[in-house]
Structure 1
Amino acid sequence: MYKDLMIPMTGAGADEDALALAIALAKSHGAHLTVLEMVDLPMPLTHPWGLMPDATMYEAHAILRERGAKNLARLQARLAVESVSSEARLIEALYSEASRSAARHAYDADLTIVAGAVGDNADSVVPHAYFVDLLLESGRPVLVVPPRSAPAPMRRFAIAWQPTRQTSRAVHDALPLLEQAERVDVLTIDEDGTPDPQQSGERIVRHLIRHGIDAHRIVRPCLDQSVATSILRYAHEAGSQALIAGGYGHSRLREWVLGGTTRELLIGADLPVFFGH
C-alpha cells in the first residue's frame, strides 16, 4: 500500500482530473496526500555587477504570490471536505524551474501524480516539463493523468513489458496498485517476430501471480504501427483503465531527451500511465 502521495498543481487543464484521482488513491490506500501549489517566479534582471533591482519585477512577484495564496486557500478548502489525511503547501520557485522544485519535494513520496496533456503543442509544454523532471530527477514513479480520463478505482491494467531495468522498476513500484487489480495483462509488442530469448514475460507473469495478482501473458504484433500505438490500441480493446510502462530518458540541459515510446505514450495516451525510471 502507498502511504505518501504527492501531486503538484501545474496550471494545466488536467490538474483537477489528476487531483481527483490522487484523492481517490489516497482514500483506497489510506495514504497521506501532499498537494503543492507551485508559484513560478521569474528571475530578476541581471547586469555585470549582480542582480538589478526592478520595481516591475517585484510587482510581478507580488501578483504571483497573491494568486498562489488564493489557489492554496481553495486547495485547502477542497481537501478539508475529503476523508483523507492531507496537506497543501505553497512552493515558490525563483532560482530553479518550478518543475525541478516539485521533483525535490517528491523525494519522500511513494508515488507522484501529475496532470498530463494530450498532444504536443503550446498547452502541453508545462505539464510535460513537470513529467520529465519528476521522472528523471525525483527517483520516484510518476502517474500521469491526461484530461478527462476515467477516475479511480483502476482495476484493469496493461503492462507494456520489456526486459529492461526501467520496466522492471515500473512494475515493482506499481505493485500496490496491481495487488488491488481485477486483471493485469503483461503485454509484449512483437516487432520482429523473434521470441523473448529469456522468456522474461512468462517469468514476470509468474512473479505477479505469486503476489496474488491475476496476471496474463499477451503478445501482439506491431502491424506496421509504432510500439506506442500498438500498446494504446490493445489497452482500448481490452478495456484497460491504466498502463504501466518504463520511462526512458536521460539528463539534459533543459531539453527533452525521452525515448520514442515514452514520448509517444506521454503525448498520445488518453488513460492514466504509470511510469517508472
Structure 2
Amino acid sequence: MLQNMKSVLIGMTEEGIDEPSSALAYGLSLAQKAGAHATIQAASLKVVMGNTFVSNVASGLVAAHNRRLRHLADAVAEKARGDAAAAGVAASVETPQLSYPQLVETFIAQARVHDISVLDAETATVNADRGLIEGLLFESGRPLLVVPPGFDSFRHHRVLVAWDASARAVRAVNDAMDILKAAASVELLAIGTEKELAHEVPGAELAPHLVRHGVNVSVKNLVAGPEGIAGTLREQASLIDADLIVMGAFNHSRVREWVLGGVTQSLLEDCKVPLFMSY
C-alpha cells in the first residue's frame, strides 16, 4: 500500500506545557500501515543561562527546571517504546535535551534521512513546535505531516489535494503519490477568482497523470469564499469528510525570517484535518 515509505520520524518536544499530543499515535499508525521503521525524538527543551553573572539561586532554578523537563521527556519516551511494541512497529527512541537552536538543527538533520516527518500542530506563533514545523518544511527537503489534536490513527480514505499548479504543489503531489494511489477517492481542488476560473480549468492537466498512476481522482474548481483560500479549503475538507489535505507550503519571506505564507499560516493555526505538506 505504502511500499515506498520505509522510515518515519516522529517528533515531540517537552516544554513543560500540558498539551495533548497526537503525533506519536498518528505516526506509529502510519509506520504500522507502511511497514516502516519509526524514529521517535522525545526531545526536551534545555534552558540555557546567557549571563555568566547570574545568582546561584537562579542557576539552581534553571537546573531544576531542566531536570524536570528531562524526566518528563523520559516518561514520554518510555510510553513511546511501549506503544511502538504494542503496534508491532520497529522503533528507535531518542531523548536528547537541547537548546532551541540545537533542537531545530537536530530535527532537520534527522528529517533529511527519513521519508517523512510527523509533528503536532501548534497554534501558537511562538513555540518550539512552530519553529520545528517551519524548519522541517523549508530546510529538510522532505515532506511533513502536521497532526491536529484528536487524530490517533493515520487514515487516507478520502484525500483533498490543494492544487495551484506551483512547483511546491507538484512536489507535494509527487511526495504523496503512494498515499493518493491507496486512497479510495482523491479530490483535486483549485481555488481562484471567478475571472481566473472562467478562462481555465485548473487541475485538468494533472488529472490524467494521476489516473495513469492508478489514482481515483476527481477535479473541482471553487471560487474563494469570504474567508479566502484557507477558509474555502477548510470548508471543502469538512464537506467531503477528508482524512488528509495534501498541499505545497509557501514562504513569502525574501529574507529567510521563517514567515509562512498566508494560506499555510492560516491552515496551521486552524485546521481540523492532518496536513501533508512539501516545500
What is the TM-score when the length of structure 2 is the normalising length? 0.86
Q: 1:65 to 1:240 in 2, by over 3 A?
A: closer
| Equivalent-residue separation in structure 2 for 1:143 and 1:254 (angstroms) | 22
Is 1:210–2:212 an aligned residue pair? yes
CA shift in 2, pair 1:234/1:42, >3 Å: same
Call closer, same or farther: CA 1:128–1:95 in 2, change over 3 Å: closer
Q: How many residues align structurally? A: 269
Tell me what 1:114 maps to.
119
Q: Is 1:87 aligned with 2:92?
A: yes
Q: Is the 8 A contact 1:40 1:97 kept in 2?
A: no
Structure 1 Cα separation of the partners of residues 252 and 20 of structure 2:
26
Alignment partners' CA distance in 1, 2:149 and 2:157? 19
Deviates more, 1:190-199 or 1:167-176: 190-199
- The 5-angstrom pairing of residues 173-188 of structure 1 reads 173-188=175-190
Alpha carbons 1:9, 1:37 under 8 Å: kept = yes
Identity of aligned residues (%): 26
Find 1:143's aligned residue among 139, 145, 148: 145
Confirm or deny: 8 A CA contact 1:249 1:259 kept in the other structure: yes
SS of the equivalent of 2:205 reads helix
Between the aligned partners of 1:220 and 1:45, the Cα distance in structure 2 is 52
Q: Distance in 1 between matches of 2:60 and 2:19?
A: 32
Choose which of 15, 19, 26 in structure 2 pairs with 1:13: 19
Query: Secondary structure of the residue that 2:40 maps to in structure 1?
Result: strand
Give the C-alpha shift of residue 46 in structure 1: 3.4
CA distance in 2, matches of 1:175, 1:196: 29
Cα deviation for residue 55 of structure 1 reads 4.7
Give how far 1:121 is off: 4.2
CA shift, 1:165, in A, is 1.0
RMSD: 2.6
Runs (5+) with no aligned partner, structure 2 = none
* Separation in 2, partners of 1:253, 1:130: 18
CA–CA separation in structure 1 for the residues paired with 2:198 and 2:101? 43
Choose from 259, 262, 265 the match for 2:261: 259
- Matches of 1:34 and 1:194, distance apart in 2: 44
Alpha-carbon offset, residue 202 of structure 1: 1.2
Alignment of 1:162-201 (within 5 A): 162-195=164-197, 201=203
Is the Cα contact below 8 Å between 1:7 and 1:36 reproduced in 2?
yes
Per-residue CA deviations over 1:108-154 (Å, capped at 9, x if unaligned) read 1111111113xx447x7333222112111222111111011373332
Partner of 2:70: 65
**Comparing 251-260 with 62-71, which one deviates more in the overlay?**
251-260
Q: Which amino acid aligns with 1:238?
A: I
**Residues 125 and 252 of structure 1: is their aligned pair in 2 closer, same or farther, counting only changes over 3 Å?**
farther
1:76 corresponds to: 81
Structure 1 length-normalised TM:
0.87
Q: Aligned partners of 1:133, 1:34: CA distance in 2, in Å?
A: 18
Structure 1 gap ranges (5+): none
Q: Which residue of 2 aligns with 1:132?
A: 134
**1:254/1:39 Cα in 2 relative to 1: closer, same or farther (>3 Å)?**
farther
